[in-house]
Structure 1
Amino acid sequence: MASGRDRRALGLGPQMGVRGRSVLVAVVVVLVAILIGGSGLVWALQANLEQAAESTASARAVEVVDRIAAEGLTATAASLTDRSRSGEVVQVLTADGRVVGASSRAADRQPLSPQRPAAGEYTAAELDLDFLDEGGEWEVVSTGVVADGALHLVQVGVPIRVQRETVQTVALFLLAGAPLLLGAVAVAVWVLVGRALRSVERIRATVAEIDARHIDDRVVVPPTRDEVAALAVTMNTMLDRLEASHQAQRAFVSDASHELRSPLATLTTAGELALRGDEPTRTRLLTTMNAELTRVRGLVENLMVLARADASDRTTSRGDVDLDDLVDDEVQRLRSTGDKAVQVSLEPVRVRADAQQVAQPLRNLVDNAQRHARSTVRIALRRSGGDAVIHVDNDGPPIPAADRERVFERFVRLDDSRSRDAGGSGLGLAIARAGIRAESGEVRVVDAPDGWCRFELRLPAEDPAL
């Protein structure tokens, strides 16, 4: 078996390209078809011609046997010469092989065939009869017949030299035409594959010219409805995703810059005033600067969490997580730090997940509910089928149905009540959804029976029987 280096040396590797490999495969397939089909044709032609010769000889033998039965052995043997046919030799022999009558002088000295069938039996053989005028190979049919009280033989020979020469001529034509046919196939495949690849080359050239300045360009889809058209559609779909990703990235960078501009401006102004101010002024400004730094640090941490989520770069440590414990911790935190009433309904539910990636989204949802609630936050945990379901409700204004997906986008604030001054950066819900989806769950806004604002968190739950 040839090694990879040997194949490369022979030009059989990927260096050949699609056109070269297509031509090679087509030529090999056609060559195999010619060999198999040509061999079958030659064999079938030869068998057919030999069978025809045998049928002719057998029919002539039957005719001679019938004449012997009708006219007698002596009369039939004497009339063989007069009734001879071109291309046939007929003999009448005794049982021991002595020639009694023959249709030609060359055949009256020795039998055509050594075969000695019984009366009524027919045998055939291909023999080389050089003593006849034509010589060469003959098809000889022998049969036995009882005449004058004794067994005699009738032998009929038909030359098959012409048939063999015909078969050889056909074989030579096939051999001579094979290179021409292979060459024609190679040229045709080379041209056809080249034409097919022109569309691929156009697609490649178009994609190569697309950059950030022309990211809205698209590949022309040919009307062929074949694999090339499917490739063009796939490339356009990929370009759509790249354009959406590029626009999302630009929007993300723009929003992040906008969010950081305000605290940085505040820090710059505070630093300049602190340099010129007295000690009480510097003390007051340091408090403002610490608050802004805390805000910037939180914003940067949120941005890093989202960046890792986009890059699928989170390191997870999966284990059994008791969701009722996580929810209870958030309830205790909310009661100790917030001024809103908290209603709780918990069922013991366990999931297989990374505790940190579930705890942070849950905290973001609880903080969001506490920030927008008028007076009450309601948290419920239950099992629904094979899922663990957490409902985080607040009695603030519900989110309109048209905005229930947009609220999970980054830096989105739906109205003045969801402003920066209310404590949100517009990233908490985006982080919550990204974290829960990393655990094969989902976060969404749903309708609450009493009209409250409700966020639903779902995670695959473990079987309590295990």
Structure 2
Amino acid sequence: MRLPRTVSGVLDRWGIRNQSTAAAVGVVALALLAGGVLLLVLLQNALTASTDSVLRTKANDVAALITSQDVAEAGQSISTAARVDLLIQIVDASGKVVEASDPSLKTRPMSSLDSAPGKSEVQTVSTLAGVPGDGEYYVVATGARSGSEKYVVLTARSVQVQSDTVRTVALFLLLATPVLLLIVGLSVRFLVGRSLRQVETIRSQVAVIDGRRLGDRVDVPPTRDELAALATTMNAMLSRIETADTAQRQFLSHASHELRSPLTTLRTGLEVSAGDPTHRAWQDIAPVLQSETLRMGHLVEDLLTLSKADDSGFTLRRTDVDLDDVLATELSRLRATGSRAVVSQVQPVRVAGDPGRLAQILRNVLDNAERHALTTVRATLKPDKGEAVLWIDNDGPPVPAPERERIFERFVRLDESRSRDTGGSGLGLAIARTLAEAHGGTITTGQAPDGFCRFEIRLPLLD
């Protein structure tokens, strides 16, 4: 059930400490109210049951004397009842009081109850004949027979004492409840305040962390509670932010460094061409500038792809793809543009994916293989246990084991290929892995059984 907007607004202005205190006090107050009412009801029932038991026992004893002996003998036995605050009468069939525990009770019966022999009835009356003062009495009537005569034994006791007891307990609860609620309220306010002080400490520490202080962390309380978990989670988040910021700065640094070379070449070429009135230099410079322009365009496209991947900005237009056809197209391109021998062993394989992105994966890995091969690039495609497995091998040196994960990082070139003229931008393999993972696949590097450098691409087969 939603609270009215006005009430919700008021509660919001109270703050967590006041809301928690009010909620705790309210819950405890309701519990005390329910518990107090239950206690008073149980106490009243217990006192009534005790009085009923005493009166029934005495009435049964007197009735037994009447039955076993006579009324006179029973009358002598009830003369001591006044000592235990019991009022007793023996009434005959005509309604006359024949015996009583006190002479003042012989005027008329305490109750009009007329129980059959061996049966008992109860009644609560506000006044008793012959008993001065007001106040309720609990009366038990038990039938008895002596010979042919029928009698009723009436026993009574004032319920004023039990009423006073219940009233006293109720008064105690009434006085103790505010004190207890005050203690609960102050305790909750103190405990919540102490917890909020720790939250405020964490908040204030986070508030001063900016782009120049991403290495700072909040203090983790020594306790093993939710606040410690909050501080730990906050530190983990700050670590992720710091890592992302570092990666972004490195990305921008590498990108600017990669773009500097082609831009410098373009600027120099244009300056040289502009300074040649015969325009003969342009004929020599134009192919170089065109090559650098294409290189810069590829680099910008790669940067855009990685940027979209980081922001989940690119979408895959999934469809059924014959991966063997995509591979055949890329191998034909490589044979036409490359200088290495290209051999292949291809089996028909269908996967679900984006044809353009799948082609980009294969192109990047094949170009990398062609760049590092000595004489031969080899491609093998086959299905294997629900996956399409593509091996792209080259007869160049395998990637050293310590570098086999780092090679898929951005702007990474191994020592033997650091020249930008032959080593690429260092983004191709990073893009290939990103796209492979987006298709639910993997890409790893290792060594083929014959010593070739191997890149293995695995993609889920089409269901």
TM-score, normalised relative to structure 2: 0.94
How far off its partner does 1:209 sit? Answer: 0.9
Counterparts of 1:5-154 in structure 2, within 5 Å, are 5-9=5-9, 11-12=10-11, 14-69=12-67, 71-77=69-75, 80-81=78-79, 83-131=81-129, 132-154=131-153
Q: Where do residues 411-426 of structure 1 align in structure 2 (5 Å cutoff)?
A: 411-426=411-426
Give 1:207 shift: 1.0
* 1:258 partnered with 2:257: yes
Instruction: Provide the residue aligned with 1:393 in structure 2.
Output: 393
Alpha-carbon distance change, 412 to 104 in structure 1, aligned in 2, over 3 angstroms: same
* Counterpart in the other structure of 1:156: 155
Task: For residue 94 of structure 1, report the CA deviation from its aligned partner.
Answer: 1.6
Q: Which amino acid aligns with 1:145?
A: A
For residue 96 of structure 1, report the CA deviation from its aligned partner. 4.4
CA 116–419 in structure 1, closer or farther in 2 if over 3 Å, else same: farther
Which segment is superposed worse, 37-46 or 269-278? 269-278
- Secondary structure, counterpart of 1:444 in structure 2: strand
For residues 117 and 247 of structure 1, the distance between their equivalents in structure 2, rounded to whole angstroms, comes to: 98
Q: 1:114 to 1:383 in 2, by over 3 A?
A: farther
2: CA distance, partners of 1:34 / 1:83: 41
State the shift of 1:428 in Å.
Answer: 0.3
How far is 1:242 from its partner? 0.8
Rounded Cα–Cα distance in structure 1 between residues aligned with 2:95 and 2:456:
110
Residue 268, structure 1, aligned to residue 267, structure 2: yes
Alpha-carbon distance between aligned partners in 1 of 2:339 and 2:80, rounded to the nearest angstrom: 136
Within 5 Å, which residues of 2 pair with 1:285-434?
A: 285-434=285-434
Distance 1:95 1:354 in 2: 109
Q: Report the alpha carbon displacement of residue 203 of structure 1 after superposing the two structures with TM.
A: 0.9
Distance in 2 (CA, whole Å) between partners of 1:97 and 1:353 is 107
* CA distance in structure 2 between the aligned counterparts of 1:108 and 1:386, rounded to whole angstroms: 107
> In 2, Cα distance between the equivalents of 1:245 and 1:316?
24
Alpha-carbon contact 1:387-1:461 (below 8 Å) kept: yes
Cα deviation for residue 67 of structure 1 reads 3.5
Does the CA-based 8 Å contact 1:446-1:455 persist in structure 2?
yes
Quote how far apart the aligned CAs of 1:19 are: 1.5
Contact 2:70 2:146 in 1 (8 A): yes
- The residue correspondences of 1:133-282 to structure 2 (distance < 5 A) are 133-277=132-276, 278-282=278-282
1:148, distance to aligned residue in structure 2 (A)? 3.5
Deviation at 1:141, TM superposition (A): 1.5
CA distance in 1: counterparts of 2:104 and 2:320, whole angstroms: 107
Task: Compute the TM-score of the two structures, normalised by the length of structure 1.
Answer: 0.94
Counterpart contact for 1:372–1:418, Cα < 8 Å: no
Structure 1 residues 427 and 128: alpha-carbon distance in aligned structure 2, compared to 1, 3 A threshold = same
**C-alpha displacement of 1:258:** 1.0
C-alpha distance after superposition, 1:284-322 (max 9, x if no partner)? 122222221111111111111111110100133221112
Alpha-carbon offset, residue 135 of structure 1 = 3.3
Structure 2: gaps (5+ residues): none
Contact kept in structure 2, 1:117 and 1:142, CA below 8 Å: yes
Q: Is the 8 A contact 2:365 2:429 kept in 1?
A: yes
Map Cα deviations across residues 295-350 of structure 1 (whole Å, 9 max, x no partner).
11111111111111101001332211121111111122122222222222222222
Number of paired residues? 461
Change (3 A) 1:338 1:137: same
What stretches of structure 1 of length at least 5 have no aligned partner? none
Give me the whole-angstrom Cα distance separating, in 1, the residues matched to 2:370 and 2:274.
39
Partners in 1 of 2:2 and 2:224 — Cα distance?
Answer: 39
Q: Give the superposition deviation at 1:69.
A: 4.5
Contact 1:73-1:148 at 8 Å conserved across structures: no
User: 1:411 touches 1:425 (CA, 8 Å); kept in 2?
Assistant: yes
Cα deviation code 1:377-406 (max 9, x no counterpart)? 111222222222221111111001111110
Whether contact under 8 Å (1:127, 1:140) holds in the other structure is: yes
User: Cα 1:96–1:351, aligned 2, differ >3 Å: closer, same or farther?
Assistant: farther
Report the identity percentage: 46
Q: Give the C-alpha shift of residue 74 in structure 1.
A: 2.3
Q: Is the Cα contact below 8 Å between 1:89 and 1:104 reproduced in 2?
A: yes
Q: Distance in 1 between matches of 2:265 and 2:295?
A: 11
**Which residue identity does 1:88 align to in structure 2?**
L
Specify the code of the residue in structure 2 equivalent to 1:103: S
CA distance in 1, matches of 2:392, 2:244: 31
- Tell me how far 1:416 sits from its aligned partner: 2.6
Shift of 1:130: 4.6
Secondary structure at 1:84 match in 2: helix
Task: Provide, for residues 130-150 of structure 1, a one-character-per-residue CA deviation record: whole Å limited to 9, x for no partner.
Answer: 532243111212211111322
